[in-house]
């Protein structure tokens, strides 16, 4: 555990350390600061002002910087127990920066809720943070019934200590907490929370037995210190806990992360990841259930997209199926093609009519440009060519084609005045120069004014190089990024580094140049709950469809999978964290 910076320590905690008027004093302190205009709309400065009050005036029972840093790394979505809003501002700001839409802070005390609301407004987080006032279980049920809360990705518990366990059970029963959810429980050392730690660390069988033996527990029976249990009796608030049975079939991978209270007193946060549902333990589940589900998903992926490691028989079967379907639909396709051609002769397409209109005397100041569109074999390139044609311009198309077979669908489009075929660059310096020269030849031959590059994955960087050459030696303007920008955005590892450098959150990403490095990284991250997809940094169609989640069930399976790849200094790969979407 790291050491505590005593210069940041709060004032010593008194016997009475909250609900004695200090919360309102805090508001006056913050709003009376001479730099209030600079504080407004700045979450970090609002937190700094709260910390200043806690250090110079009176103790505040906040999560503090040390423990707060643990939770912001997880990114919170639901908070039980807001108090004066320190953690709400800290975590709400983290959610907003991560692109989250909503952060709920549940506070039972209406005065504390008002303090939170005022500071949230000052921090400029009102569009993200929603304050719910009332008992935590009632607020959870209300949000659930209103369908405002459908699933909890991460929940921070820092409220009435006996309610940690019972509120978690309620979330389990409502299926708000499911495999993938993360819990962060504060104050599990000081003042401590034995029933909660026992619950998240118990096996399925232990929780089932406990559920059969009792119907929940009261706050007084929780084993938590009486002073903590009775801390809300001053206001006559009920200490009754909900009796939700929870879901004992959920299993948590739980560990204690040691840290400090804002005063410097040692404390810790229990981080619990819900890893599975089932009647078995974690290892049995990994061997039986998870293996079956994951292998089924992998099998489906392989059926949907074959790669270079698929069997020859699978490729032959897939190709034969495509030929068969093409033959079956050939009569229908032929009929539709001729029908569309006949209709076009009788009723000219809107694009043709619009082109004639803009090039007529109705628009005497129109000056048509000659536009080169590369990549007309792809939908995006062909669509742009048609748009430019409809707008009255002269469109030249180009794309890669083998010398012996016309394959670019755009070559026959009526939107093109001419079509030119290029030889695909092979990654060498000579190949790049030939490609650039081909583009220059077309631009000069057709007197091109504008080149619009619709790059494929195989020529993105080459197009950046060609752009710089074209604009240097001709008057043609290129709609294409320069080399540096193209490389930064095109290559996976450099794009991740750039995204990180401008302060945006990114998936955990590791570049590896050997099989041993890949295996070591996966071994080092084992137990974190993270899964990774392995991707080649460059372009390789034979492996780009492989979406296998790593690590696999056993180290041997993971090693066997990675051994199939060609990984070296010249052929680097990345391991990128898999983040499940909605």
Q: Find out whether 144 and 174 touch, Cβ atoms under 8 Å.
A: yes
Task: Tell whether pTM > 0.75.
Answer: no
Cβ contacts of residue 296 below 8 Å, gap of 6+?
none
Strand 78-80 with 103-107, pairing: parallel
In this prediction, residue 294 carries a pLDDT of 43
Q: Find out whether 389 and 351 touch, Cβ atoms under 8 Å.
A: yes
Q: Find out whether 278 and 289 touch, Cβ atoms under 8 Å.
A: yes
How many angstroms separate the CA atoms of 66 and 186, rounded?
12
In this prediction, residue 288 carries a pLDDT of 41
In this prediction, residue 544 carries a pLDDT of 74
pLDDT (tens place) for every residue of the chain, 582 residues total: 567 788 888 888 888 778 788 888 898 899 999 999 999 999 999 989 999 999 999 988 877 777 777 666 655 445 556 666 787 888 888 888 877 778 888 888 777 887 888 898 899 998 888 888 888 898 899 889 888 888 888 888 988 888 999 999 999 999 999 998 989 999 888 888 999 999 999 998 898 888 777 666 666 666 787 777 776 666 556 667 888 889 999 999 999 988 888 888 888 889 999 987 654 433 443 444 344 444 434 334 444 456 555 678 887 888 899 999 999 999 999 999 889 888 877 776 677 777 877 777 666 678 899 999 999 999 999 999 999 999 999 999 999 988 777 888 888 898 999 999 998 888 777 788 888 889 999 999 999 999 999 987 778 889 999 999 899 888 999 999 998 998 888 888 888 889 989 999 899 999 999 999 999 999 988 878 889 999 988 777 677 778 889 998 888 999 999 998 899 998 999 999 998 876
How many angstroms separate the CA atoms of 335 and 339, rounded?
6
Strand 370-374 with 394-400, pairing: parallel
Q: How would DSSP label each residue in 564-580?
A: TS---SSS-EEEEE---
In this prediction, residue 94 carries a pLDDT of 82
């Amino acid at each position: 555990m790291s050491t505590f910076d005593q210069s940041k320590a709060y004032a010593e905690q008194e016997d009475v350390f909250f609900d004695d008027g200090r919360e309102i004093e805090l508001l006056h302190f913050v709003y009376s600061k001479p730099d209030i205009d600079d504080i407004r709309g700045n979450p970090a400065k609002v937190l700094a002002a709260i910390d200043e009050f806690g250090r110079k005036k009176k103790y505040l029972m906040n999560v503090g910087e040390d423990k707060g840093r643990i939770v912001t790394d997880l990114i919170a979505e639901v908070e039980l127990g807001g108090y004066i809003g320190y953690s709400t501002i800290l975590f709400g700001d983290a959610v907003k920066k991560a692109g989250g839409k909503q952060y709920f802070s549940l506070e039972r005390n209406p005065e504390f809720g008002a303090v939170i609301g005022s500071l949230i407004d000052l921090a400029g987080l009102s569009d993200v943070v929603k304050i719910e006032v009332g008992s935590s279980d009632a607020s959870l049920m209300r949000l659930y019934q209103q369908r405002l809360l459908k699933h909890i990705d991460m929940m921070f518990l820092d409220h009435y200590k006996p309610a940690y366990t019972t509120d978690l059970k309620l979330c389990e029963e409502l299926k708000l907490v499911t495999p993938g959810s993360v819990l962060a429980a504060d104050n599990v050392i000081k003042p401590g929370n034995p029933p909660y730690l026992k619950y998240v660390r118990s096996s399925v069988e232990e929780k089932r037995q406990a559920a059969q033996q009792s119907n929940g527990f009261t706050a007084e029976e929780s084993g938590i210190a009486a002073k903590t249990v009775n801390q809300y009796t001053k206001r006559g608030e009920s200490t009754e806990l909900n009796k939700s049975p929870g879901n004992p079939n959920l299993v948590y991978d739980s560990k204690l992360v040691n840290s400090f209270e804002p005063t410097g007193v040692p404390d810790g946060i229990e981080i619990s990841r819900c890893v599975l549902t089932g009647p078995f333990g974690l290892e049995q589940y990994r061997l039986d259930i998870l293996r079956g589900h994951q292998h089924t998903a992998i099998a489906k992926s392989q059926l949907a997209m074959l790669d270079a490691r698929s069997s020859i028989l699978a490729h032959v079967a897939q190709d034969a199926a495509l030929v068969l379907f093409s033959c079956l639909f050939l009569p229908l396709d032929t009929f539709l093609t001729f029908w569309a051609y006949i209709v076009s002769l009788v009723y000219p397409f809107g694009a043709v009519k619009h082109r004639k209109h803009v090039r007529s005397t109705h628009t005497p100041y129109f000056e048509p440009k000659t536009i080169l569109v590369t990549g007309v074999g792809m939908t995006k390139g062909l669509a742009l060519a048609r748009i430019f044609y409809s707008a009255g311009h002269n469109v030249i198309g180009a794309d890669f084609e083998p010398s012996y077979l016309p394959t670019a669908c755009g070559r026959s489009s009526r939107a093109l005045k001419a079509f030119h075929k290029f030889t695909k660059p092979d990654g060498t310096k000579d190949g790049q120069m030939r490609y650039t020269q081909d583009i220059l030849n077309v631009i000069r031959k057709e007197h091109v004014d504008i080149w619009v590059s619709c790059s494929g994955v195989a020529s993105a960087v080459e197009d950046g190089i060609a752009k710089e050459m074209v604009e240097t030696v001709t008057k043609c303007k290129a709609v294409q990024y320069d080399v540096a920008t193209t490389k930064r955005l095109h290559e996976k590892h450099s794009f991740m580094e750039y995204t990180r450098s401008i302060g945006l959150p990114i998936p955990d990403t590791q570049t590896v140049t050997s099989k041993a490095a890949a295996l070591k990284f996966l071994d080092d991250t084992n137990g974190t709950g993270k899964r990774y997809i392995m991707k080649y940094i460059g372009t390789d169609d034979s492996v780009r469809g492989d979406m296998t989640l790593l690590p696999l069930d056993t180290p041997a399976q993971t090693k066997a999978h990675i051994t199939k790849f060609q990984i070296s200094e010249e052929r680097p790969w990345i391991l990128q964290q898999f983040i499940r979407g909605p």
